[in-house]
């Protein structure tokens, strides 16, 4: 279901990033590194269980077609995805984890739509 709004997907995405940059329940080093990466910054960020996820739509249910990053016990990070069973690798720094996640993005990734994954699918069928 596409929710009509006067705000663009990029405005909604930027607002969420700005909010996450002050969120105390998210690893701020990781959020700052992801925000500094243009390919990830264009995606809608969301969190779950201390993990940083990215979506090509602005509402739940999110798209699950891109990797996500979670802090590793004892330091560092793990990159997974797009599904929970797909382990990509480990990184000692947030910047390295972000680079690994960006390298795993599907080709053509980055087009964010207002709405959930059904709205994303409908938008992709139009193109």
Element at 54 (helix H, strand E): strand 51-55
The structure's pTM equals: 0.90
pLDDT digits (tens, 9 = 90+) for 66-96: 999 999 999 999 999 998 899 999 999 999 9
Helix pair 9-20, 28-36: axis angle to 10 deg: 150
For residue 3, the model assigns a pLDDT of 46
Domain boundaries in the chain? 9-126
Three-class secondary structure of residue 11 per DSSP: helix
For residue 12, the model assigns a pLDDT of 96
Taking the alpha carbons of 86, 92, 96, 98 in that order, is the dihedral positive or negative? Answer: positive
């Amino acid at each position: 279901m596409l929710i009509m709004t006067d705000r663009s997907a990029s405005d909604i995405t930027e607002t969420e990033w700005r909010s996450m940059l002050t969120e105390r329940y998210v690893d701020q080093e990781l959020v700052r590194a992801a925000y500094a990466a243009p390919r990830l910054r264009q995606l809608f960020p969301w969190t779950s269980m201390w993990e940083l996820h990215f979506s090509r739509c602005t509402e739940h249910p999110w798209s699950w077609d891109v990797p996500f990053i979670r802090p590793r016990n004892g330091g560092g990070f793990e990159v997974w995805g797009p599904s929970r069973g797909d382990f990509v690798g480990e990184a000692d720094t947030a910047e390295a984890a972000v680079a690994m996640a960006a390298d795993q993005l599907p080709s053509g990734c980055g087009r964010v739509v207002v709405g959930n994954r059904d709205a994303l699918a409908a938008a992709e069928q139009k193109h």
